Structure 1
Amino acid sequence: MMKIVADENIPLLHNFFSDIGPIETFPGRELNAQNVGDADILLVRSVTNVDEGLLKNSNVKFVGTCTIGMDHIDTEYLQQNNIAFASAPGCNATSVVEYVVSALSSLTESNGLNLEKIRVGVVGCGNVGSRVVETLKRLGIDVCCNDPLIDQTGLVSFDEILSCDVITLHTPLTKDGPYPTHHMFNDEVLSRLKEEQILINTGRGAVVDGRALKHKLQKQPSFTAVLDVWESEPAIDIELANLVTIGTPHIAGYSLDGKVAGTEMIYQAMCRHFGLPSRHKAAQFIPSPPLSKLYFTSEAELSWSMHTAIRACYDVRHDHYALMSSLSGTEVQRSQAFDQLRKSYRPRREFSTIKVLLKNTDSSMHSQFKALGFNVKSA
């Protein structure tokens, strides 16, 4: 038996890992060296910094982060100390794509955005960014991508991205190397964006200089910013939060399906490392979705049907209002509220869990729902 120390917010933790050994859980931001000293396995999410300060003199032999990002992990220290490591690349990519789609759907109302006439620029073409590009293209939206770290045809310059109607960020947070992303969107870059453009950040908070963005929004209040990630989380800048069009508490990738996929990927990686049989799969434990079917007839107009389905499954404005209602009180109280919104986040399900029934509709409606990832059937 091996002792496991884990972030308390890892879903289905006990379902997957209880037969490996005893499990002790802590709030992710509060994990410290004393907590993990006698652990064999450490399981975290993105809010825990895993480095020498946490692991020195511990018994930890395996670290797993049930998230797509790795900037909170000192992988060099793990390698030097022969500690195995696994992450969950792509586990929440679909969830983030659906967040972006929901935000765009919401902006068709609040901003009069016409999805047929916009160009979307994607910064970062990794697991998430590439999925955003693929989905938007299937929906018939004009989209381009910039990523200097990827050698492939069809990518565009950063300058070209800055001319797009919508710019959505999907990069890791890096401070070193030839293309650091820390404060990539600083005063100079933000000053080049016009008031009618839209900036979406679901990657890492510090990719955007929060002070610079706040200054821009104070000068140009009609500039549209959609932020799911923030500098200095959970103590976010409430002045900035009150200026953005949509602000949410770092939950873009928080679909139940995405989080459980992350847990399953780390469970499988741990089993491989220790030579253990992999006995569990997510399908054994994940509940039925609260909304299972949507039904559209030939009387339904395409655009209305699409937006109705998107918002029925996930309306980003609900998370915006939840964050806005948490911005009172002291900084400590606001920080606690931010983390509580994440800890108690409802079981949001992905589009693929909903069956869309179409009766006597044309092929374009069928293809658009398929492009979004819904489970489409003819009624």
Structure 2
Amino acid sequence: MKIVADENIPLVPQFFASIGEIQTYPGRGITPEHVRDADILLVRSITQVNRQLLEGSRVRFVGTTTIGLDHVDTEYLNECGIAYSNAPGCNASAVVEYVVGTLSVLADELGFELESKSVGIIGRGAIGSKLEKALTSLGMKVLSNDPPKENEGEEGLYPLEEVLQCDVISLHVPLVEEGEYQTHHLMNHQVLSGLRGDQILINSSRGDVIDEAALKQRLQEENPPTVVLDVFNGEPVVDTELADLCHFVTPHIAGYTLDGKVAGTEMVYKSFCRYLGLPERHKLGQFLPEPPLKKLAFSSGADPFWALHTAIRTCYDVRHDDSNLRRTLRLPEAERGKAFDELRKGYRVRRGFEQVKVVLKGGKVELLNKLSAVGFNIQSK
């Protein structure tokens, strides 16, 4: 059995070597020739899996180690009888940590307290629902919008117009090109022109959810909002003019904790084993290395505000990824796309908050609850 995989999917040999021969290629460079005699195809979001790629191949299973399926033509796969699997929720915690970490830094730089802000979450899926819970526990007022879920009877959701009035707007929707629940250019000229200068917009979902031309226009107007982008319309190419107008830009790494990435590999491996009726011989715990940071300890005299933000930023500080991307945007235009992909390929080992034990003396219940809500492993003394 032959397995073709994106070279940046972690732990593919560890999980799949006993199943078949593995060949890896850059995700953007996987071609019909590469998959023609393959039985299994393993991809991330940057590989478009469709008729053009698979027609004439013997591929019978496609696994994408990502939450979404918008890069996979599932209609074509169903038509051809090709099984497929994704990894829903695998990096939800990582994206939540990205948003929380970004808000922590913005609170300092813009001069506000988290509890003073309302947050509008657009998309209450695996990520949005987890983010809603975390931010609510941090004392923020959260309004979520998700028309498909509302149509299914889910409660506690709000109209888009109301959510768009919140101080912070965070996007967590799949890219849907057409239909009743289209999200392509959901943030269009009309929506963006209505954003206030005291609002914050964070996009860690898909680049095409925002009309970048309209966003660039709005950011050049009077009293622009504060914008943080982790995803872009033309990846791996980034509009440098737009980037210069944003507060933070990062290279599509919001979900890039090691824990989230390898969880995606494990989920696809398990799906494939079920597909073939094979025993699951490997588990994630066999392969994860020890985290570089295992414990943070605060004394009973620690200021709760300082302790919370110190813990968050010790594990994730958006300014590091922002500066790395901005350095590549100063390169000659022909080199920027490759540099964007290299940032992702060579991304540092970032571990999830849950890998860090926070020791807190004095039992400050409110602080304990907040640290626990954003994912830390709490130990009170």
**For structure 1, which runs of at least 5 residues remain unmatched after alignment?**
none
Displacement, 1:294?
A: 0.2
Matched-pair contact (CA < 8 Å) for 2:115–2:138:
no
Q: Please show how residues 118-157 of structure 1 align to structure 2 within 5 Å.
A: 118-151=117-150, 152-157=154-159
**What is the TM-score normalised by the length of structure 1?**
0.98
Displacement, 1:224?
A: 0.3
Could you tell me how far apart the structure 2 residues matched to 1:104 and 1:49 are?
32
Matched-pair contact (CA < 8 Å) for 1:221–1:243:
no
Q: Secondary structure of the residue that 1:325 maps to in structure 2?
A: helix
Displacement, 1:378?
A: 2.0
**Partner in structure 2 of residue 102 of structure 1:** 101
Could you tell me how far apart the structure 1 residues matched to 2:247 and 2:64 are?
31
Q: Secondary structure of the residue that 2:147 maps to in structure 1?
A: coil
- After TM superposition, the structure 1 stretch with the greater mean CA deviation from structure 2, 360-369 or 194-203, is 360-369
**Partner in structure 2 of residue 266 of structure 1:** 268
Moved beyond 3 Å, runs of 4+ = none
Tell me whether 1:79 sits opposite 2:109 in the alignment.
Answer: no
Matched-pair contact (CA < 8 Å) for 1:43–1:63:
yes
Displacement, 1:222?
A: 4.8
Please give the per-residue CA displacement for 1:196-248, whole angstroms capped at 9, x wherever unaligned. Answer: 11000000001011111111111146520010000010011011111100100
- After TM superposition, the structure 1 stretch with the greater mean CA deviation from structure 2, 261-270 or 172-181, is 172-181
Displacement, 1:161?
A: 0.9
Tell me whether 1:8 sits opposite 2:7 in the alignment.
Answer: yes
**Partner in structure 1 of residue 206 of structure 2:** 204
Q: Secondary structure of the residue that 1:116 maps to in structure 2?
A: helix
Could you tell me how far apart the structure 1 residues matched to 2:324 and 2:54 are?
36
Q: Please show how residues 173-322 of structure 1 align to structure 2 within 5 Å.
A: 173-220=175-222, 222-322=224-324
Please give the per-residue CA displacement for 1:83-123, whole angstroms capped at 9, x wherever unaligned. Answer: 00000000000000000000100101111132111100000
**Partner in structure 1 of residue 162 of structure 2:** 160
Could you tell me how far apart the structure 2 residues matched to 1:221 and 1:333 are?
34
Could you tell me how far apart the structure 1 residues matched to 2:223 and 2:64 are?
38
Could you tell me how far apart the structure 1 residues matched to 2:223 and 2:232 are?
19
Q: Secondary structure of the residue that 1:63 maps to in structure 2?
A: strand
Q: Please show how residues 58-69 of structure 1 align to structure 2 within 5 Å.
A: 58-69=57-68
Q: Secondary structure of the residue that 2:173 maps to in structure 1?
A: coil
* Overall identity of the aligned pairs, in %: 54
Tell me whether 1:351 sits opposite 2:350 in the alignment.
Answer: no
**Partner in structure 2 of residue 46 of structure 1:** 45
Displacement, 1:254?
A: 0.6
Change (3 A) 1:261 1:374: same
Matched-pair contact (CA < 8 Å) for 2:133–2:373:
no
Matched-pair contact (CA < 8 Å) for 1:235–1:332:
no
Change (3 A) 1:47 1:58: same
Please give the per-residue CA displacement for 1:35-54, whole angstroms capped at 9, x wherever unaligned. Answer: 00000000000000000000
**Partner in structure 2 of residue 116 of structure 1:** 115
Could you tell me how far apart the structure 1 residues matched to 2:159 and 2:47 are?
34
**What is the TM-score normalised by the length of structure 2?**
0.98
**For structure 2, which runs of at least 5 residues remain unmatched after alignment?**
none
Could you tell me how far apart the structure 2 residues matched to 1:212 and 1:260 are?
36
Q: Number of matched residues? A: 378
Could you tell me how far apart the structure 1 residues matched to 2:267 and 2:162 are?
36
